[in-house]
Amino acid sequence: MASYFDEHNCEPLGENERPNEQLLLARLLVDSGIANALNLSFEDLSSQNLSPPISKIWLKEEFPKYCFSESDKCGHKCPICLIAFEEEGQTRAVKIPNCGHIFHCDCILKWFEKTSSCPLCRFELPTDDPSYEEFKRQKKREKIRQQEIEDLHNSMFS
Amino acid sequence: MASIASARIKREFREVVTSDELTRCKIKLELLNDNFTELKGEIGGPPDTAYEGGTFQLEIKIPETYPFNPPKVRFLTKIWHPNISSVTGAICLDILKDQWAAAMTLRTVLLSLQALLATPEPDDPQDAVVANQYKSNNKIFLKTARHWTNVYAGSTSAAEPEFDSQVKKLVDMGFDSHKSRVALSSHLWNVEQAIESLYD
């Protein structure tokens, strides 16, 4: 028999760890439809606007895979320092997965200390903050649910 | 100051002063010191708004951690706008706070501020009195904003002469002209209520 935690797709709390009450309350309000009735979205109920710093594990394991030596004399500038890639001394560049925006490694690493999103398009990379990751999952869930409702409605008329 | 901040401002400054696009949009930038930490910005009021014809001065301070943190910007020119304090010139705009991104520049900030003048966000106000007036009495809001543009930002269009004479009434009673204008603007140009608030 699957354990309670497997069945609910969650993990037991560690020692000294407390449940994230705000997140649970937000989810309860959204799932029960009360939030809808009050015209509140999940974003309104969550206090987190800016994504937290980037995941250290991701930086160690994934980040180097996207780094390369910029030798392309295309005249592109790093959007953070505004210095052209081919200018001397600053040649290590990184291409962010998914959005493909290119920055100097040193520049983007400094930005990632603050937040995990791309400075150009806000595409979000993983963070080490469990409640923020949960918030992201919840947003995704909400989107999928909305799509499903829409599909259901559409299927009735086709 | 960290070299990345001043090096970047230097590059941005060159870009802004040589851009035709920004001259067309009536956007200017001026250096106030040699280490690129303080600048003065200037934006023209957008056409077809209450700010049309006005020129608005901005104080821009560059933090050491720029461009990883936003520049500190405030209006030096007095302005009647829901998202700008009529007292201090402080601005409520998300990109100057938590929505800042390192790829933004002084150019994008100045253009965003010009856009803010054209489309106020009364639900995220900096000045509650102005925001309230914007929502509940938009006609008077527009006239007041136009009047302030005329008096403080040097526009020459429709001056709302009846507002001038009301301010003069209070000045003749011995009140400061700016304080009188604030009191009248905050009380829908009702002279009695404005006087009462000045005595409080």
- CB-CB neighbors (< 8 A) of B103 in chain A: 79-80, 119-120
The answer to whether residue B25 is catalytic is no
For residues B23 and B47, state if they share a domain: yes
**Within a domain: B171:** yes
For chain A, what is the domain count? 1
Closest CB to B102 among A49, A83, A111: A111
Catalytic residue among B79, B92, B110, B183: B92
Tokens of A106: 């040193």
Q: Which of B103, B105, B99, B75 is nearest to B88 (CA)?
A: B75
Model pTM score: 0.81
* Structural domain ending residue among the three candidates B118, B152, B184: B118
**Within a domain: A76:** yes
Q: Could you read off the pLDDT of B41-66 as tens digits, one per residue?
A: 999 999 999 999 999 999 999 999 99
For residues B135 and B113, state if they share a domain: no
Residues of the domain holding B65: 3-118
For residues B7 and B28, state if they share a domain: yes
Whether the per-residue pLDDT at A39 is higher than 80: the answer is no
For residues B177 and B96, state if they share a domain: no
**CATH number for A102:** 3.30.40
- CB-CB neighbors (< 8 A) of A49 in chain B: 98-99
For residues B88 and B137, state if they share a domain: no
Whether the per-residue pLDDT at A6 is higher than 60: the answer is yes
For residues B68 and B147, state if they share a domain: no
Whether the per-residue pLDDT at B1 is higher than 50: the answer is no
Q: Could you read off the pLDDT of A98-119 as tens digits, one per residue?
A: 898 999 898 999 999 999 999 9
Whether the per-residue pLDDT at A90 is higher than 60: the answer is no
Burial class (CB in 10 A: 0-12, 13-18, 19+), B195: middle
Q: What is the mean pLDDT of residues B71-89?
A: 96
**Within a domain: A35:** no
Task: State the distance between the two ends of chain B, measured CA to CA, in whole angstroms.
Answer: 46
Tell me the sheet residues that pair with A69.
A92
Angle at A107 between CA A105 and CA A111, to 5 degrees: 110
Residues of the domain holding A99: 56-112
CB B5, CB B62: distance < 8 Å: yes
**Within a domain: A100:** yes
The answer to whether the CB atoms of A50 and B99 lie below 8 A apart is yes
- Give the sign of the dihedral formed by CA B185, CA B186, CA B191, CA B196: negative
For chain B, what is the domain count? 2
**CATH number for B66:** 3.10.110.10
- As a whole number of angstroms, the distance between CA B88 and CA B75 comes to 8
